[in-house]
């Protein structure tokens, strides 16, 4: 903010720096690693309990596939976020 004389006016406080853009990395990696871990655990539990047509093993395998899908989607989001971050870093 400047006053009519051209000097900066700090009556409302010093200027605030813009927020860093690295705030999304942590949640993306938390979702990626936790869903990958859950996919591994549920799929391995499905193999341990067996693959019968109407058993707990089948449900665990399906749950593992669901978590694997969430892990894959979060990996794609990480790659897209990284590419956007690189492009913005190169442009500025």
- pLDDT value at residue 58: 87
- pLDDT value at residue 49: 84
DSSP states of the chain as a string?
-B-TTS-B--TT-SPPPPPPGGGGHHHHHHHHHHHHHHHHHHHHHHHHH---TTSHHHHHHHHHHHHHHHHHHHHHHHHHHHHHHHHHHHH-
For 27-59, write each residue's pLDDT tens digit: 889 999 999 999 999 999 888 887 667 788 888
The residue among 12 and 60 whose pLDDT is bigger is: 60
Per-residue pLDDT band at 77 (split at 50, 70, 90): very high
The residue-averaged pLDDT of 4-23 equals: 62
Answering whether pTM is above 0.75, one says: no
């Amino acid at each position: 903010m400047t006053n009519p004389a051209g000097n900066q006016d700090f009556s409302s406080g010093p200027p605030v720096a813009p927020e860093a853009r690295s705030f999304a990395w942590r949640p993306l990696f938390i979702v990626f690693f936790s869903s990958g871990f859950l996919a591994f655990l549920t799929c391995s539990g499905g193999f341990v309990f067996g693959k019968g047509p109407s058993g707990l093993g089948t449900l665990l395998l399906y749950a593992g596939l669901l978590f694997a899908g969430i892990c894959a989607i979060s990996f794609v989001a990480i790659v897209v976020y990284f590419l956007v971050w690189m492009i913005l870093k190169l442009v500025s």
